[in-house]
Amino acid sequence: MPAYYIGEHIISNVALFDDYLAKVVPMVERFGGRYLTKAGSHEILEGDWRPNRVVIIEFPDIASIKNWYRAPEYQPLIALRRSAATDVMIMLEGL
């Protein structure tokens, strides 16, 4: 069953975040992830949270998301992302 990762970011350091993206995109793809949304295309309809980047990535299943997120090679990238942005990360199962 497909699963989805939603990342919402308030980016404070664009250069560092770009470095993170350059490293994470190929890794996400290796774990079966496929980007479904275009950066900068979101619009806030309600609420106080104002991310300047939102992404939705489809994975084959929840296990694939967990395997990517817990992978040893991703752990240093978490620290890099956190140094460049404030984030909300969500994982959910599809229908």
| Domains present along the chain, CATH in parentheses | 3-93 (3.30.70.100)
pTM for the full model?
0.92
Q: State the pLDDT confidence band at 79, using cuts at 50, 70 and 90.
A: very high
Phi-psi region of 40 (alpha: psi -120 to 50; beta: other; left: phi over 0): left
Residues in Cβ contact with 19 at an 8 Å cutoff, skipping those fewer than 6 apart: 80, 84
Across the chain, what does the average pLDDT equal? 96
What's the CA gap between 36 and 57, in Å, rounded?
A: 6
Residues 30-74: pLDDT tens digits?
999 999 999 889 999 999 999 999 999 999 999 999 999 999 999
